[in-house]
Structure 1
């Protein structure tokens, strides 16, 4: 797999760090949806805002603030979600 190094300007880097990149540079682009809980606009499908939203099974989206306040455990923050929280190990001679 090849990796490409990308340099961005200070203005873009600051906007990304302050979590307002899409608000500033993609405000007129398609792909905006509202958080189903608070109504905050979220730019879905953009890598710059990927960490700011949670896709819901019901088809909607939630902002990370609403997801965290709801107490829902997400795959992004819970490493056990990958394996569905099940840990299995087998030692020599043991049946699983």
Structure 2
């Protein structure tokens, strides 16, 4: 009974993160935060699955390592965009600008 509640919570977390990702497209920071929330919900689902099947939790540490690398890459893109354009709006970011 409790595991089905956790699975429902992880699905709700994933879908709400996807909804925020789709609806808040104007700011890069909100997009990155919703992507991190999606990664956290996937980690929660992975952790539940590995505990349910009595596997080692080593793969979850590998997943967290890659998610930290993804977060650092997103923050570096955000910082470079703010330094060149002054804000994080996608409307002010032209494809052909250098």
Given the two structures, how large is their TM-score scaled by the length of structure 2? Answer: 0.26
Bigger Rg, which one: 1
Q: Identify which of structures 1 and 2 has the higher relative contact order when contacts are C-alpha pairs closer than 8 Å and 6+ apart.
A: 2
Q: Which has the higher helix share?
A: 2
Q: Which has the higher strand share?
A: 1
Given the two structures, how large is their TM-score scaled by the length of structure 1? Answer: 0.27
